[in-house]
Amino acid sequence: MNQLASLAESGTSGVLPIVMNFLALIVLTAILFVFALRAGRPAFISLILSLYAGFGLFMVFPWKAQIVSGDGMTKAVASLLIFLALSLLPFLILRRVNTLGMARIHPLPLFGLSVLSAGALLAVSYHFLELSKILPATPPIAAYVVPEQYLFYWLAAPLVAFFIFAR
């Protein structure tokens, strides 16, 4: 019995650091997945596509330098708020015109889309929205999401998944 308890304890002690290292990705994935299940697949697709549009608008926002100033935390919060505000209008527009046939997508591929979208959102947030000032990247996130050479792949992955799952 002691061996079984020791094995269970060693297993949970190995899992907990992994979960804590990927906590931001897990929480964001869960939020996106629950949103997709509650609001519907077309709303989820509209949300993800509006984040791309919001990112493009954020990058060319003419008053970004004046609004996003100050210390690290203020700069990060201002960047995130501007990004979310610029993503809201495309979401409202896409929500009205979205006719993609994603209403029948199975929950398992939908979860995969949530993971890829959460990774893309984290990559954009760490690269351009100063998220590291609010939430420092854990070593695995820093290794797999934050490096600049992976940014293109994180941004392309949800789009490729949409292409595969849209029938």
Contact 75/133 with Cβ under 8 angstroms? Answer: yes
pLDDT > 90 fraction of the chain, expressed in percent and rounded: 44
* The two structure tokens encoding residue 78: 């201002």
User: Could you give the CA distance from residue 107 to residue 118 in angstroms, rounded to a whole number?
Assistant: 16
Residue range 102-150, pLDDT digits in tens: 556 788 989 999 999 999 999 999 999 988 888 888 888 999 998 999 9
Residue range 77-103, pLDDT digits in tens: 889 999 999 999 999 988 887 765 555
Q: Which residue has the higher pLDDT, 72 or 117?
A: 117
* The two structure tokens encoding residue 164: 């595969």
**Global model pTM greater than 0.85:** no
Closest CA to 164 of 124, 119, 123, 106: 106
Is 7 a residue whose pLDDT tops 50?
Answer: no
State phi, psi for 64 to the nearest 5 degrees: -60, -45
